[in-house]
Amino acid sequence: MPTGYFITLEGGEGAGKTTLLTHLARKLETLGHPTLTTREPGGTPLGNILRQLLLESDRLAPTTELLLYAADRAEHVSQTIQPALNGGKIVLCDRYTDSTVAYQGYGRQLDLDLIQQLNQIATCGLAPHLTFWLDLPVETGLKRAGDRAKNMGQSLDRLEQTPLDFHHRLHHGFRQLAEQNGDRIARLDATQPPDCLATAAWVLLTTRWPELAQTAQSRSTPAQP
Ligand code: Z5A
């Protein structure tokens, strides 16, 4: 029976997921909670190869893309996420199944039922206990991602070059997911500065699981999420 906590972060380009994930991981580790940070695509050795294929290929057929994300996830769940949860860790994952629904479903307009089935197969039914949706206007996210790429001397990657209406469709997709899964998905206003966003997420996290606000040593018994 898994005893860990599975938390995912979702949102569009430049929403601030990686920044928030780093803040939360640092805070949890300071309190002594065993924490694993990971991401999709790319949370395993195979996943890193798939990530390169997915993010660097000029043009993949949408169905090919969908199947590669599913393969990445199947490997990630079985080799990384599930073992960490079985070991009682807090798993913080940058993107998971909701990204497939938003990007491949709403964005690329592939069949949503098929995506749900593939997600079910790839995850063996493992759903996050809590998901933070970083809600940011599309234009703000694209500007942030563009500025970051320029500062690092990189060109915008393939997905960031896609038309604006694609990004609006996937934003709508995340909104739909949040409305349909209100008990799992917590919306965060991602226009806030990083520190405020991190505080808002921490309050939500520790309201749900007060034991995580204490040091790991002071927890008497492991709580079930
Ligand atoms: N994808 C998919 O299509 N289907 C799937 O099933 C899955 C994924 C799992 C992964 O790209 C791509 O895979 C992604 C979807 C697709 N599409 N694209 N492109 P990635 O891993 O390379 O990148 P990303 O996941 O899209 O994240 P990102 O663009 O790197 O953004 P982020 O992690 O959300 O944000 P960040 O790196 O923390 O911050 C971005 C910049 O904004 C940076 O300069 C920060 O300093 C700044 N920032 C961060 N937070 C703030 C706040 N709060 N205020 C102001 N500025 C901030």
What is the per-residue pLDDT across 147-196, written as a single tens digit (0 to 9) for each? 888 888 777 655 456 789 999 999 999 999 999 999 999 999 999 999 99
pLDDT, average across residues 44-61:
93
What is the per-residue pLDDT across 83-136, written as a single tens digit (0 to 9) for each? 999 999 999 999 999 999 999 999 999 999 999 999 999 999 999 999 999 999
CATH value at residue 125: 3.40.50.300
Nearest to 205 by CA among 3, 6, 2: 6
Domain region containing 76:
5-218
The highest-confidence range among 21-30, 51-60, 209-218, by mean pLDDT, is 21-30
**Residue 224 is assigned to a structural domain of this protein:** no
Distance 14 CA to ligand 1 centre (A): 4
At residue 179, the pLDDT reads 98
State the total domains in the chain: 1
Look up the pTM and report it. Answer: 0.95
Distance 94 CA to ligand 1 centre (A): 9
**CA-nearest residue, atom 13 of ligand 1:** 41
d(CA 209, CA 130): 11
Nearest to 50 by CA among 31, 35, 66: 66
H/E segment holding residue 39: strand 35-39
**CA-nearest residue, atom 55 of ligand 1:** 193
**Residue 107 is assigned to a structural domain of this protein:** yes
